[in-house]
Structure 1
Amino acid sequence: MTTDRLGALAAADQPLHALAERLLAVAEAGLPGMYLPGSDTFVFTRAGTAAPDGSWHLEQRGTSTRYAAITALGARFLPEDRQRTVLGGHTAEEFTGLLVQRLPAVRNLGDAALIAWAAAETGHPKLSDALERVAALDEPGRPQYTVEAAWVLSALAAARGTVDVESRLTAARDRLLRARIGNSPLFPHATGPGLVPWYRSHVACFADQTYPLQALARAHASGADPEALAASEACATRICALQGDGGQWWWHYDARRAGVVEGYPVYSVHQHAMAPTALFDLADAGGTDFAASIRSGLRWMTEVPELTRSAEAGAVPEPLILDELGVTWRKVYRGDPKKAVRAARGLTTRVVPAARLTPLDRVFRPASVDRECRPYEFGWMLFAWLGGAQR
């Protein structure tokens, strides 16, 4: 399995290339077990519980339309026979067709946008119908969550060569650019007031950065848009500057002042998939190549300094990649009750942006592992490492 992205990684760092190949194998091994053949969709999550003898029990929980669409977006890069293995016997186009058929019942804008994006990427004949459903859910002038607004733009950019979407694309692009606060290069959690309580309206998450920077880069790649590219570049530059010494992509940011509010949890999907796919798409669009930051983030998956520091002398830290189970554990977190550290820092930085409340770091060390794995994590992983210039 070789793509330009994997090839470049092999040239730069052979051990990391082996890690990426290993992770892709884990994704392909794990996704079939997350598929629910009776309903032709994917679970929301698989949760792992360790038995006294060291064996694991994986419990399937819930279902997710958006995770199914993201999985289709990534699986389409696999050879057809392997697409069918991952997608319950369907190709990515066939599986996307099942999702398109369900669109009349979809009420969430993000879910609809992801299905439309998959329809555009797989060349589905009912792409126009999918986009109409997105338009019906995207009420003009109504604030939206930034992640979902970004997925709308990515769907429209992907459809641009097939359907006339210019007016809608311009509106979606402008909405993201206007959402930024002052001169900050980072994006807030919502595109306008009303969706987030005032006391934490300045707090945005990592996904609020990667999806807009990806969407704006793709908008530029689909039709020259230097302003969109510059915004994507500025966001990427800032989150890479804030990246942790151990390669961590931090979780909560101050969208006003472009700093970190609270770093934890650190999510595996950010390290191996979401940061790479956004930064790769930026480079493909003609922006800066942040390959060194991508490699640093990927390296965290096996080094995990938080767990290494917390291990007792001579003990082996818990691994986040379990090849035999086909999972990567979801995150490393503090284990603080009711996410107390995030709440305290969110409230404090509203008034004092530079406040760190450092005693909290000593009391609630990030040494807990969330033993869950969700299908979208593998969908974006396939998208990140198998996509790119080969398209």
Structure 2
Amino acid sequence: MSTARALALRFAENAVERDRLGGTPKAERDALRDSGLLRMSIPRAYGGHGASWRETLEAVRVLARADSSIAHLFAFQHLMLATVRLFSRPAQWEPWFEHTAQRNWFWGNALNPLDERLVATPRDGWHEFSGIKSFCSGALDSEMLIVSARRRNTATVVVAALPTQRSGVKTLQDWDNIGQRQTDSGSVAFEKVRVEDDEILADPGPLSTPFACLRSLIGQLCLNAIYLGIAEGAFEEARRYTLTEAHPWFRAGVERVERDPYVLQHYGEFWLTLESARALFERAADGLDAAWGRGEALTHEERGDLALAIAASKTVAGRGGLDICTRMFEVAGARATHSALALDRYWRNLRTHSLHDPLDYKIRELGEWALAGHYPEPSFYS
């Protein structure tokens, strides 16, 4: 974890400038490569560090406090590795793990199952992929991609792992959103791309067993770690600014801002929110490690209990984080809106990221469990 903390301090030095620039954080991606953290979750037998999910997600959270775009790329690296592990045979994922550990490969995402414009056409021993995918976080400057396509004339989803530099693959620099500006979450175009059958992740394949269905829960908990890290980063920035720059309101009747009763009320509420989010996150991360350890013996009920824990944790971190990122200006004051500080980046980043899938539907899932005892239906988002 010391490596993640050192990198977070380094990334924080120019996070504001890079947020304004957008684009690919090439130097920061290379720093992650050099650090060895890209192989953090890979078992030691394949050259990795053998970190638990709790440890890996804690590193995501540490990075998100300083720069949530970098944390996003790092989290998706390990989500893509988990995808390979859960959806494919050992003969596929084992060499990919070894190559990633040996060569510091970065994995990018082109899976987005809601975008069905990419079509897979079966050929003799291979598939042809043609079309486009959106929201492809980390695809630029990656060595490998996880890609999903709709098999032609069917509703079947085909998932594959292939080199980013494969002929016919083109990463497009069309990401220019208000937040998460250095995640390269734009589009990838595929023009008659040849995908071999042994690059298709079909055994056991997506959403095929309770264990394979952990993939979506890992994705949700990755987002959770980012939300919590952003909220903690916003809290620390607000606290520092309040103590060093802010003044009490003239009607408070106090000389120092830390004695203003309304400022204290806000900070008390912030702290309660963060403590609740931390406790739920840690419980969910420990639950994921337990489920991962069960392997193919994992039951539908065990997977369902974990899904509920992660839904609760993600919702509290998301909504609570947005509240802190908005109300932080009420404790920092008008001067804190100066553009050079870019304190609004915390809200912009969390607002952008939290739209990945609506929190309202997470609460609905929790309601279905609380009222009728129904577990969330496994999908790419639950």
Q: So what's the TM-score if we normalise by structure 1?
A: 0.22
Q: If you compute each CA radius of gyration, which structure gives the higher value, 1 or 2?
A: 2
Larger RCO (CA within 8 A; separation ≥ 6): 1
